[in-house]
Amino acid sequence: MKSYVIDVQRCSIHDGPGIRTTVFLKGCPLRCKWCHNPESQSYKRQLSYNQSLCISCRACEEVCSQNVHSFVDGLHRVDYSKCTLCGKCVEACPSKALSMIGREMTPQEVFAIVKKDEIFYAQGGGGVTISGGEALTHIDFCLELLQLCKESHIHTCIETSGFAQVNQLRKVLPYVDLFLYDFKISNEPDALQFIGGTLSVINRTFNEIYTNEKAMILRCPIIPGVNETDEHFQAIEKIVAAYPDLIGVELLPYHNFGVVKGANIGCKTEEFDFPTEEQKQEWIQYFHQHGYDKVKLA
């Protein structure tokens, strides 16, 4: 079973406990307006063009038979819709301004990379995190990789939006030590408008993980103008109160890394206001004043 992998990031310290290897799978059914990894949305490979690295040598224009690359008044235009993903321009580009996002890999190939870092996991309580995209929509790939990890006693973690089928989730549950569960939106109209999915699916996944007594950290991206609201904060508060076995709650302040990455693949990503340091402290104070000290800024 193969999946498109965007990256296997070694020595990661942001995706679960300890030092970890994070596997980013390509493909997600949601369309969050603030997505910080827009290149992970499509399940297909994609051409990426990084304008800041381009030296305008026009080698790409020469080798492309589909006229994807053109130069108008010295400006490099890329018509992504015509690209057949042959990769010739990527090979020809001398400055690495062009790249192909998504490499088809087997779980065994990924595991061979994971094994190289085994010594770090033992020292720091780390392991493997499967992220995305939406990892739970690559269920057969995840299952094989997780089984390989457990055979080697490696700690496993899945980062998920919860937008997945419960019957698929059940296949991997026995092999996952920890879930990083993104809680993005708390009412249905906003869910449809801002993430492109329905809350009933997401809530069902949450309950399935929780009732199976799996360790879970709630991760809450806070986006000014979208969910930095009393209603949403009260919803987080209710979850923390109702599910005391959550091992942590992290608030993730909005950043706009996705805007440039989206432009590189020809997608427009919406921009929102950055939260100030003062705003972030107010978020934390809100929860601490209500007695929820486990809520932290990520």
- What residue ranges bind ligand SF4 (CB under 6 A)? 47, 54-60, 63-64, 66, 68, 76, 83-89, 92-93, 95, 97-98
For the chain, count helices (H), then strands (E): 11, 13
Least distance to ligand SF4 from the beta carbon of 2, Å? 20
Are 78 and 263 in contact by the 8 Å Cβ rule? The answer is: no
Pairwise CA distance, residues 247 & 265, whole Å: 37
Q: Which two tokens stand for residue 294?
A: 């486990």
Least distance to ligand SF4 from the beta carbon of 38, Å? 19
Least distance to ligand SF4 from the beta carbon of 86, Å? 3
Taking the least distance from each CB to ligand SF4, the nearer of 80 and 272 is 80
Are 8 and 113 in contact by the 8 Å Cβ rule? The answer is: yes
Instruction: Report which of 210, 145, 198, 174 is spatially closest to residue 8, judged by C-alpha positions.
Output: 145
Taking the least distance from each CB to ligand SF4, the nearer of 45 and 115 is 45
Pairwise CA distance, residues 282 & 153, whole Å: 41
Q: Which two tokens stand for residue 195?
A: 């993430």
Taking the least distance from each CB to ligand SF4, the nearer of 54 and 235 is 54
* DSSP for 98-141, written as a single string: EEEE-EEE-HHHHHHHHHHTHHHHHHHT-EEEEESS-GGGSHHH
Taking the least distance from each CB to ligand SF4, the nearer of 32 and 89 is 89
Pairwise CA distance, residues 40 & 99, whole Å: 14
Least distance to ligand SF4 from the beta carbon of 28, Å? 23
33 contact partners, CB below 8 Å, separation of at least 6:
194, 195, 226, 269, 270, 272
Taking the least distance from each CB to ligand SF4, the nearer of 45 and 290 is 45
Least distance to ligand SF4 from the beta carbon of 256, Å? 24
* DSSP for 200-243, written as a single string: HHHHHHHHHHHHTT-EEEEEEEE-TTTT-SHHHHHHHHHHHHH-
Least distance to ligand SF4 from the beta carbon of 95, Å? 4
Least distance to ligand SF4 from the beta carbon of 251, Å? 39
Report which residue type is found at 225.
G
Are 173 and 6 in contact by the 8 Å Cβ rule? The answer is: no
Least distance to ligand SF4 from the beta carbon of 72, Å? 13
Taking the least distance from each CB to ligand SF4, the nearer of 87 and 248 is 87
Taking the least distance from each CB to ligand SF4, the nearer of 47 and 164 is 47
Taking the least distance from each CB to ligand SF4, the nearer of 131 and 264 is 264
